[in-house]
Amino acid sequence: MGNSKSGALSKEILEELQLNTKFTEEELSSWYQSFLKECPSGRITRQEFQTIYSKFFPEADPKAYAQHVFRSFDANSDGTLDFKEYVIALHMTSAGKTNQKLEWAFSLYDVDGNGTISKNEVLEIVTAIFKMISPEDTKRLPEDENTPEKRAEKIWGFFGKKDDDKLTEKEFIEGTLANKEILRLIQFEPQKVKEKLKEKKP
């Protein structure tokens, strides 16, 4: 990065982010200034990421979900995100293309990073998602998906897997593309994330 502390975003990173996300130069530049205010080192730790994420969802408990999101975007596993990783995280969780989103969703659900997803991993992420849903919204959920266990069971059932089976990335992406119900069940209501992003820029 070289100039991460100079207060200006390098042209290369700016161009790469504009190419890979839908954010404008103005948005990216102002976010970068805010990012440096919050994280003068130019890197954001897991704890700081959780704090920022909590601002998006003041009425929920997004800590567990934020940890998983952080893990899935910490590309080099160094325990921090630089500005580029951070913006891509925001983009992918709110406005990415379906295939990109599903690749990211796979890495989110692949908790141990071994290249496949187990039913327990699905339950772990779904449990984190439920902590983000208000009790009021939980009450409105259909009977067969109103607890993390029921929702995980439903997702696993859609993939036609036995309890101790594993899901590959290919199966995960193809199955989800073929069934809109899976897409709805595996994600935290993206519309809400989009609304929050519009309300509160980081």
Q: How far apart are CA 70 and CA 49, in angstroms?
A: 7
Which two structure tokens, joined as six digits, stand for 106? Answer: 């796979």
Cβ 183 vs Cβ 176: under 8 Å: yes
Cα separations in angstroms, 198 against 53, 90, 176:
14, 12, 27
Low-confidence spans in the chain with pLDDT less than 70: 1-7, 93-96, 188-202
| Helix H or strand E segment including 34 | helix 25-38
Angstrom CA distances, 199 to 34, 56, 61, 195, stand at 15, 9, 19, 6
pLDDT of res. 95: 67
Fold (topology level) of 98-188: Recoverin; domain 1 (1.10.238)
Contacts of 64 (CB under 8 A, 6+ apart): 127, 128, 131
Note the pLDDT of residue 188: 65
| CA atoms lying within 13 Å on the CB side of residue 192 | 13
C-beta atoms surrounding 40 within 10 Å: 10
Q: 15-96 and 98-188 share one CATH topology? A: yes
- Using CA atoms, how far apart are residues 202 and 91, in angstroms rounded to an integer? 12
**Entry field: residues in the chain:** 202
pLDDT tens sequence across 30-52: 889 888 888 888 899 999 888 87
CA distance 187 to 66: 13
Report the pLDDT value the prediction gives residue 10, as an integer from 0 to 100: 87
Q: State residue 74's pLDDT score.
A: 86
pLDDT at 4: 42
**May I ask the CATH architecture of the domain 15-96?**
Orthogonal Bundle (1.10)
Residue range 158-177, pLDDT digits in tens: 999 999 999 999 999 999 99
User: How is the chain split into domains, by residue range?
Assistant: 15-96, 98-188
CA dihedral 49, 53, 54, 57 (to 10 degrees): -170
Q: Which of 103, 91, 101, 82 is nearest to 4 (CA)?
A: 82
**What is the residue type of 171?**
E
Long-range contacts of 23-26 (CB under 8 A, 24+ apart): 23/87, 23/91
Cβ–Cβ < 8 Å for 24, 14: no
pTM of the model: 0.78
